[in-house]
């Protein structure tokens, strides 16, 4: 096999173009492209950000069972930092933000916290948001934000038959095979055929609680103590 590099014959008729012309062409093209993009960006940026926030906002509302008021907290090094306005930019890798939902407008009746967290599934990350009541350690509601599990199989983790029964269970959750449960309030029935995917959801909840739980508890103790 010969792999000599064949230099294509120069086309003799093409006139030499001065370098400044090349640079100018690229410059103009680049500038025009940039200009166009800035314009489109201006038109779409807010909408895109809003779409993202909306997704999280709706999810928070869903897993907390429709709170009247939501407060966001940045997860600090050792404590939760309350934010003035609810901020829905979440980083599910770092678990940078949790949300507290209240049943009343004044923020008196705490419904629970919403936590968004992720881990690697079969192919890619599974991102889950769930509501959690720090006082009873109960899960309030679960929603899968994003996953790439097998369609038709692993994607059962985003469906009600699996997620519904998790509601009301107490962390630490223990995944069990359907029918094998002993009836304790820690148990979650996994999905036949998608056992691992469903176990991952359970682990995500456990890990998220393990990670942010102490800070939530601390905040709660402070808030209730201060009252």
Q: How far is the CB of 144 from other proteins (least distance, A)?
A: 13
Q: Counting contacts by CB under 8 A, is residue 58 touching other proteins?
A: no
What are the strands of the beta sheet with 80-82, ordered from one edge? Answer: 80-82, 69-75, 97-102, 110-120, 125-133, 138-146
Q: 84, exposed or middle or buried, with CB in 10 Å at 0-12, 13-18, 19+?
A: exposed
Q: 60 CB contacts (<8 Å, ≥6 apart)?
A: 67, 70, 88, 99, 101, 114, 129
Answer for which of 41, 172, 217, 224 binds other proteins (CB under 8 A) is 41
Answer for which of 139, 199, 202, 212 binds other proteins (CB under 8 A) is 199
Only one of the segments 35-43, 61-69, 96-104, 165-173 lies at the binding site for other proteins (rule: CB under 8 A); that segment is: 35-43
Distance from C-alpha of 109 to C-alpha of 103, rounded to nearest angstrom: 5
The two three-digit tokens of residue 32, written as one number = 């025009």
Q: How far is the CB of 117 from other proteins (least distance, A)?
A: 8
Q: Counting contacts by CB under 8 A, is residue 210 touching other proteins?
A: no
Q: Counting contacts by CB under 8 A, is residue 12 touching other proteins?
A: no
In sequence order, the β-bridge partners of residue 170 are 138
Q: Given the complex with other proteins, which of 21 and 227 has the nearer CB atom?
A: 21
Q: Counting contacts by CB under 8 A, is residue 109 touching other proteins?
A: no
For Cα atoms 96, 79, 61, give the angle at the middle one, nearest 5 degrees. 50
Q: 52 CB contacts (<8 Å, ≥6 apart)?
A: 88, 89
Site for other proteins in 125-154 (CB under 8 A): 146, 150-153
Q: Given the complex with other proteins, which of 81 and 94 has the nearer CB atom?
A: 94
Q: 95, exposed or middle or buried, with CB in 10 Å at 0-12, 13-18, 19+?
A: middle
Q: Given the complex with other proteins, which of 1 and 84 has the nearer CB atom?
A: 1
- Binding-residue pattern over the window 66 to 105 for other proteins, x denoting contact by CB under 8 A: ---------------------------x------------
Distance from C-alpha of 108 to C-alpha of 68, rounded to nearest angstrom: 11
Q: Counting contacts by CB under 8 A, is residue 184 touching other proteins?
A: no
Q: Counting contacts by CB under 8 A, is residue 7 touching other proteins?
A: no
**What's the DSSP call for residue 89?**
-
Letter string b/e over residues 29-55, b meaning 16 or more CB atoms within 10 A of that residue's CB: eeeeeeeeeeeeeeeeeeeeeeeeeee
Q: Given the complex with other proteins, which of 28 and 74 has the nearer CB atom?
A: 28
Binding stretches for other proteins (CB under 8 A): 1, 3-5, 14, 17, 21-22, 25-26, 29-30, 33-34, 36-38, 40-41, 43-45, 47-48, 51, 55, 93, 118-124, 146, 150-153, 177, 180, 192-196, 199, 207
């Amino acid at each position: 096999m010969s792999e000599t590099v064949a230099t294509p014959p120069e086309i003799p008729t093409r006139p030499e173009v001065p370098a400044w012309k090349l640079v100018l062409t690229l410059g103009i093209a680049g500038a025009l492209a940039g200009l166009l993009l800035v314009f489109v960006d201006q038109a779409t940026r807010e909408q895109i950000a809003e779409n993202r926030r909306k997704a999280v906002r709706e999810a928070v509302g869903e897993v907390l069972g429709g709170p009247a008021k939501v407060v966001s907290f940045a997860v600090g090094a050792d404590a939760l930092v309350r934010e003035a306005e609810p901020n829905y930019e979440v980083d599910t890798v770092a678990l940078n933000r949790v949300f507290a939902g209240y049943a009343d407008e004044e923020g008196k009746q705490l419904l629970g916290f919403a936590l968004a967290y992720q881990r690697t599934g079969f192919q890619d990350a599974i991102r889950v948001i769930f509501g959690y009541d720090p006082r009873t350690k109960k899960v309030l509601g679960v929603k899968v934000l994003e996953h790439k599990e097998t369609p038709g199989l692993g994607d059962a983790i985003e469906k009600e038959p699996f997620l519904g029964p998790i509601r009301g269970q107490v962390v630490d959750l223990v995944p069990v095979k359907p029918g094998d449960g002993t009836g304790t309030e820690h148990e979650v029935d996994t999905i036949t055929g998608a056992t691992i995917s469903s176990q991952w959801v359970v682990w995500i909840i456990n890990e998220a609680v393990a990670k942010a739980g102490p800070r939530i508890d601390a905040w709660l103790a402070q808030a209730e103590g201060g009252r």
